[in-house]
Amino acid sequence: MNPIKKDPLDGLNPSQVEAVKHFTGPLLILAGAGAGKTRVITHRIAYLIEGLGVMPYEILALTFTNKAAGEMRDRAERIIGDNARKVTLATFHSFCNHLLRREIRSLKEYSENFSIYDDADARRCVKEILKELDRPMTGSHAPARIVDAISRSKNFATSPSALLSSFDPLAEEIDEIFKRYEARLVENNAMDFDNLLGKTLELLDGCAETRDRYRRRYQFILVDEYQDTNRVQYELLRRLCPPDGNITVVGDADQSIYGWRGADIGNMTSFERDFNNVAVVSLEQNYRSKQNILDAANALIAHNAGPREKRLWSALGPGDPVMFHLAWDDSSEAQFIVDEAGHLLDEGYRLEDIAVLFRTRAQSRPLEDAFIRAGLPYLIIGATEFYKRKEIKDAIAYLRVVDNPRDMVAFARIANEPKRGLGPKSLEKIESAAREAGSLIGISEDAAAASKQFPAKAAPLIGALRRLHGLRGSVPVPELVRAVLEDTGYYSYVERMDKQEGVSRAENLEEFFKLAHEYAKEASKPTLEGFLSKVSLVSDSDVADGDESRARMLTLHSAKGLEFPVVFIVGLEEGMLPHGNALGDADGDREERRLCYVGATRAKELLYLSACKGRMTRGVACNNDISRFIMEIGPDRFKMLEGARGGARPGESFFDTAPGGGSDEAVERSPAIRLGGADADDFSREPVDDDYSTPRRASSKKSAASRRGFDSDRFDGVDEEIVREKCGFRAGDKVEHKVFGTGRVVSFKGDEICVAFENIGIKRLSARYAPLVKID
DNA sequence: CTTCATTAGCTTTTT
DNA sequence: GCTAATGAAG
């Protein structure tokens, strides 16, 4: 028994109450940024159950990310307790995945243990097909591009060639490649992300009985981020809900930023057309940001043509003006942010209050450098690398083959990992044998032994896979996972790998086992398929959270739905934001503007925008104009900020007006350039080199960044002597730092070494990892 | 068949 | 500045 913890109508404004209390029939909620969208959905779920007597299992709530789904469930649970768990609350993809696993019989060519293919798997398929067709795989025929074209065509529900210019050399062949790709998926009993949606639609269309069953089951449907639905998702909603059904969609056309992926804002207007008597509620009061921030955001978005459905307002007061800083180059832009962050910390903000938003992932690098140098811990959201790690992908591939022995993409990945002497030639033979036998484990031992064609070296692997496949269902998932990796020899192979490499990989595998345990604990009916689905459908932004005291770094896209007291948006330059690929295209331009709008509206108290006159892109210097978005917001809305080292003035050109001093100065500030330059040798000593040459994605707890930056706190109290011994420095030593120049060692504290640098001042650095060299 | 080294190609955003 | 693919040598 769970008492109502809270009245679902408590603390809502009149529009929100109207949205929450709406009972039957379609409802369209136009919710501006920060207007309490998630709040309305969760409270509506609560009210339907507690106030209107709807059964929890009759409710289907769909989101785009696992994170949003989880958050919604948490919040609903806080209002109504355990009943919230019985609501079907899922992403579109995971909902479809579940439906398919249950109903797949209706699609004869698939069985319920189908694999889910990610982009990399899809590319591999395309590559094989190109090889088959003897076509090139470069330029216009790059597998990634083809996969992209195929995916877009599915999202737009059209043929791939229809979306290509007729001049595209690919246009002629793409449909054929597409056909073979689909056939290959079927052969492998696999679905790509798009097919999870598409096949579900197909299934519901092909079987009225199933469709009606789901319609009866889900009397109430709620859709979050409705503006991001694509054609297929829209059609799915129409299958699941009759025209006068109880469907509530919540969206904001101004936050539509996934048009490139097939999201169709047209679905907002289609909704009123295709569903009957649609009620509309508009939420305009913003509970997140100070008015100055909203004014800037409103001014920006006003430049997108079309009627303004709403104008955000806030009762939180004007707040500080939005700030703008023009930096010399990307590293001084990053330095500006670090300096500013320092001030903010002095003022009482915490690191986790601060978010730095950028357009492209590549922009994180200089920021990371600056944060590392300053010893400020940060977290890159969305760079989960965990599931992209080789050992994890291998482990998943093993499991996939065991679960679905038709999955030849997974098999190709692991056949020779560890080395079993199975090269491409052997692989081909195994594949054709598998095709003949129906699946890998269908290859009979006798037939294989009899055939001179069949590589004998493959027999043990196939045997192990067959045996493990048989254990499916009778052995608990975590044990099965371990058995798969141990019995195939993969685990010991990883363990035996040389030194650090092997250790961190084995650690990651242990982490993976832990995931399996967690899954088994929380799933009502754990299965290998369930576990695989789970790991296949996690998105990058799902993991990153936690209340760790770190600044956040993330793309504008992954910022949607989040909020932070302080937001920096960097790189407001033509070609960057708006991005070069969107220039010259009116739709693209508008979407870029919305992207910037989304970023700006993430800020609660302080919003900083910055641009730089020049930046390094792909190792090449280039200079950009200040983004049109800055002009559109209007100069009088900004407080202009100078950086510690002086900002550049508008109109001044970066690399060409200052060929001598100017660019040299810039080069000196950029560690990346120095590293590649002549004095790289100076830093080739092991710990030093390691620190700066290894990839610096900070998402992993084991990254160099995290070790130096903050974990050091935990070593407080470590004997000073040990530290001294470890790093070989003593107080008074003159040292040189790759970035900070020369200085003198002042003292030690825990794992940290304090150094007084000539121009910079005293810095606390990690004794073990700081790139310090003793000089005479 | 494997391993190592060099090179080409590329980076917008992601369930 | 990175990954993945290709090529040469073991």
Cβ neighbour number for residue A82 with a 10 Å cutoff: 10
Q: Give me the phi and psi of A618, to 5 degrees please.
A: 55, 40
Cα dist from A408 to A29, A122, A178, A185, A554, whole Å: 45, 12, 18, 10, 35
pLDDT tens for each residue of A438-483: 888 888 776 666 666 777 788 888 899 999 999 998 999 999 999 9
CA to C1' distance (Å), from A135 to B7: 21
Distance A416 CA to C7 C1' (A): 20
Tell me if A731 sits within 8 A of A721, measured CB to CB: no
d(CA A764, CA A768): 12
- Which residues, including other chains, have CB under 8 Å from residue A719's CB and lie 6 or more apart? none
Residues 549-588 of A with CB under 7 A from strand B: 555, 557-558, 579-582, 588
pLDDT exceeds 90 at position A542:
no
Q: Is pLDDT at A172 greater than 90 in this prediction? A: no
What band does A400 get if pLDDT is binned at 50, 70 and 90?
A: very high
Q: Which residues of A are catalytic?
A: 37-38, 224-225, 255, 602
Average pLDDT over residues A286-292: 95
In Å, what is the CA distance from A250 to each residue of A44, A322, A398, A437? 12, 29, 40, 50
Shortest CA distance to A76 belongs to which of A99, A59, A94, A53?
Answer: A59
Task: Tell me the pLDDT band of A765, cut-offs 50, 70 and 90.
Answer: low
Residue nearest to nucleotide B8 (CA to C1'): A138
DSSP E strand stretches across A227-308: 246-251, 279-283, 285-286
Residue A511 CA distance to nucleotide C9 C1' (Å): 38
Which of the two residues, A636 and A275, has the higher pLDDT score? A275
Using a 7 A cutoff on CB, list residues near strand C. A 120, 127, 137, 618-619, 672-673, 675-676, 693, 695
Please provide the DSSP assignment of A24-73 as one string.
SS-EEEEE-TTS-HHHHHHHHHHHHHHTT---GGGEEEEESSHHHHHHHH
* Closest nucleotide to A676, Cα to C1': C1
Q: Is the Cα dihedral A227, A233, A235, A236 positive or negative?
A: negative
Taking a C-beta distance cutoff of 8 angstroms, is the pair A308, A44 a contact? no
CA A72 – CA A224 distance, rounded (Å): 10
Q: Which nucleotide is nearest to A672 (CA to C1')?
A: C1
Confidence grade of residue A610 (pLDDT, cut at 50, 70, 90): very high
Residues 454-493 of A with CB under 7 A from strand B: 455
Helices (H), A241-281: 266-274
Strand C: list positions under 7 Å from protein Cβ: 1-6
Q: Any idea which nucleotide's C1' is nearest the CA of A124?
A: C4
Dist CA A641 CA A647 (whole Å): 8
Query: Mean pLDDT lowest for which of A31-35, A547-551, A588-592, A595-599?
Result: A547-551
Q: Which residue is nearest to nucleotide B3 (CA to C1')?
A: A419
Cis peptide before A321 (omega within 30 of 0): no
Q: pLDDT per residue over A657-715, tens digit each?
A: 332 333 333 322 222 222 222 222 222 222 222 222 222 323 332 222 222 222 222 22
| A419 in contact with nucleic chain B (CB within 7 A) | yes
For strand B, list residues 365-404 of chain A whose Cβ lies within 7 Å of it.
Answer: 382
Give residues 68-97 of chain A lying near strand B (Cβ < 7 A).
91-93
Amino acid A705 CA to nucleotide B1 C1' distance, rounded Å: 39
Question: What residue has its CA nearest to the C1' of B10?
Answer: A618
What pLDDT shows up at residue A393?
85
Mean pLDDT of A639-647: 63
What are the structure tokens assigned to A497, written together? 């790998």
Give, in Å, how far the C1' of C8 lies from the CA of A180: 35
Amino acid letter, A69: A
Residue A359 CB in 7 A reach of strand B: yes
In chain A, positions 599-658 with C-beta closer than 7 Å to nucleic chain B are 618
Give A233-267 pLDDT, tens digit per residue: 999 999 999 999 999 999 999 999 998 888 998 99
pLDDT confidence band for A546 (50 / 70 / 90): low
How long is the CA A695 to C1' B4 vector, in angstroms? 22
Beta A285-286 vs A313-314: how paired, if at all? Answer: parallel
3-state SS class at A358:
strand
CA atoms within a 13 Å half-sphere pointing along the CA-CB vector of A402: 31
Which nucleotides of chain B are near protein (any atom < 7 Å from a CB)?
1-3, 8-15
- How long is the CA A704 to C1' B6 vector, in angstroms? 28
- pLDDT score at A51: 92
Q: What is the DSSP letter of A556?
A: H
CA-to-C1' distance for A450 and B9, Å?
Answer: 45
- Please state the rounded mean pLDDT for residues A110-130: 88
**DSSP class of A454:** S
pLDDT tens-digit series, residues A727-752: 455 556 666 555 555 566 555 444 44
